[in-house]
Amino acid sequence: MNAKSKNDETVTTKDSKGQVVPLNMRVREIMDPVMPELIPALPSNIKPEKFQAAFITAVVNNPDILKCKPSSIRTALMKCATDGLVPDGRKAAIVPFGVMATYVPMTGGMIDRAAQLGEALSFTAECVHENDTFSVNMADPSKTEHTFGTDVFAERGEIIGAYAIFRTKDGTAIHRELMSRAEIEKAREVSKMKNAGPWTKWYSEMCRKTVIRRGIKYVPISTELRVIVEREDEHVDFGMKNATPDDYNPLQEPPQTVEGTANELEEAIDAPDPVVIEPMNDDDRNELDWVLGEIKETNTTEELHGWQSSFGEVMAKMHPDTKGDVRKALKDRARKLEKDDE
């Protein structure tokens, strides 16, 4: 059991032997073994003392973290440090999942990190409630109207969906992503934490994260930011055993799945319910050939990113069956251009 002194300055907890110790000592006991690796992983704007203080605050707010295996806490902290975030519950959180600690980057952390990394774009995401006024122009992502009415503190009702808008540095909207509550729930269903952790504590936060994750596929971002956004893959139950090798490093390669097995999180995020998709016609195939040809003609990474920004809306409106080919072509071309630049 945890306890606070009368002046709330000393917080105590029990160590692995059941002895009462100051909480900050327990945190150091957990963090000290990983500090030699953690400190070099932190970006220059985050001091080790700040990172440690944020984790102490997180533990004070949620003592159940210390019930998790110390090794899982250290792994979660290392991922958080590598992503350049602090585990303060606002930019990133350490969430107990059974006896395992899970690292969850938050929307605010993603947005801040994009700015710190000097990304060529910025983005925002919001939930839409049933009593909000919300309208969009499907042909122009910049024309999105979302208001709460004359009384901004009135009851907004249940969440009915979420949206994200992606802009270039000069403020030009290049892509907007919309997801209904049903689509968001499909993504939640394949999460190992669908009935615990962030989905139960921070539902609106997870709605925003889900719509960001879907929309960011159609805009150019760095590898560092993509790793942060796609951390959710680590919490997905693919219904498989031993699908991921023991030495898998999420910072170096995408999540592994058994050959021929669909990525259920991608399907859940990409596919509305119900799905009614007409077969591809000749126009769809011609459009795909044209896009693949345009991608192949790019000569530099900057040119590829510029092309992707300009044609983000075109790609978003393409036939669903073509998007996998487009994403693969973009990744393959990016790898080749990066290799040529070395």
**Does the structure show a pLDDT above 70 at 242?**
no
Give the pLDDT score at 126.
94
Strand pairing partners for 123? 166
pTM for the model: 0.60
Longest dimension (CA), the chain: 75
CA 196, 192, 228, 320: dihedral to nearest 10 degrees? Answer: -120
Please give the average per-residue pLDDT across 159-171, as a whole number: 91
Strand pairing partners for 124? 165
Alpha-carbon span 186 to 161, nearest angstrom: 12
Sheet of 159-168: strand order equals 121-129, 159-168, 173-180
Alpha-carbon span 163 to 161, nearest angstrom: 7
Question: Residue 12: which H helix or E strand, with range?
Answer: strand 11-14
Question: What's the DSSP call for residue 20?
Answer: E
Do the beta carbons of residue 116 and residue 109 sit within 8 Å? Answer: no
Give 243-269 pLDDT, tens digit per residue: 333 443 333 333 333 333 445 565 665
Give 320-342 pLDDT, tens digit per residue: 777 778 878 888 888 888 777 76
Question: What's the DSSP call for residue 148?
Answer: -
Give 3-55 pLDDT, tens digit per residue: 443 333 345 555 455 554 577 778 888 888 888 888 998 988 899 999 988 99
| Structure tokens given for 72 | 């899982």
Closest CA relative to residue 227, chosen from 257, 246, 249, 198: 249
Please give the average per-residue pLDDT across 189-199, as a whole number: 80
**Does the structure show a pLDDT above 60 at 289?**
yes
Q: What percent of the chain has pLDDT over 90?
A: 17
**Does the structure show a pLDDT above 90 at 287?**
no
**Does the structure show a pLDDT above 70 at 235?**
no
